[in-house]
Amino acid sequence: MNKKERALFVEKKLNELFPNPKAPLKHKNAFTFLIAVLLSAQTTDKRVNIVTKELFEAAASPKEMFKLGEKKVYDFIKTCGLAPKKAKAIIETSKLLMEKHNGKVPKELTQLEELPGVGHKTASVVVSEFFKKPAFPVDTHIHRLAQRWGLTNGKSVKQTEKDLKEVFDEMNWRDLHLQFIFYGRTFCTAKGCDGTVCFMCKSLYPNRKNKIKTLKA
């Protein structure tokens, strides 16, 4: 199979396995979704949903969040990875949203990327999932799978994103982003598969003998 044929095979199988994928992070509005995505770095979605249940009851807007203050935000999210850094970013982002965006989450990728603690991936997730605009956020799962499946050389996350956007139709980017992640967590984990174990890897490369060493994000 060439790259385009592999992409078509991947898309077909992912649609069979994970039809109509739903975003796992619970939220109330654009702001709470942004905060949930920010918190999800190096933290499971399950953990994020646990801590945000009480956090979003206390504060569901930039004004309310800023009013809580960094210490109280930290108390809510302290069981998340990088909690001190995230608490600081949440307060700074809340402040910036009030000062520059009238308390509203911007819809543009470049404006989102200017917010403290919000990198390109987080901004892409918000744009794709909440504002329904074409974006293909690449996390560690997607970066790993795209390499194992011969869809990118994996030189960088930026390159992986570019390569995936070239082989998949933009109207499917949102679903594929989630489907890649769900497949990576379930069948093609970092340690559970080496490019020769899971169904997708074996189907795409039936004659592959050597383990695939993927470049990290």
In a shared domain, residues 40 and 86:
yes
Residue with tokens 């109207």: 171
- Please indicate whether residue 139 is annotated as part of the active site: yes
pLDDT for residue 48: 98
Active-site hit among 121, 132, 162, 163: 121
pLDDT for residue 60: 98
In a shared domain, residues 36 and 114:
yes
pLDDT band at 216 (very low <50, low <70, confident <90, very high): confident
Kindly report the CATH number assigned to the domain that includes residue 115: 1.10.340.30
Write out the residue range of the structural domain in which residue 70 sits. 30-129
In a shared domain, residues 111 and 164:
no
Kindly report the CATH number assigned to the domain that includes residue 186: 1.10.1670.10
In a shared domain, residues 124 and 37:
yes
Query: Which backbone phi and psi does 112 adopt, to 5 degrees?
Result: -65, -40
What mean pLDDT is predicted for residues 113-129? 97
In a shared domain, residues 75 and 140:
no
- Please indicate whether residue 45 is annotated as part of the active site: no
User: Is this prediction's pTM over 0.75?
Assistant: yes
From 107, 114, 120, select the one nearest 92 (Cα to Cα).
114
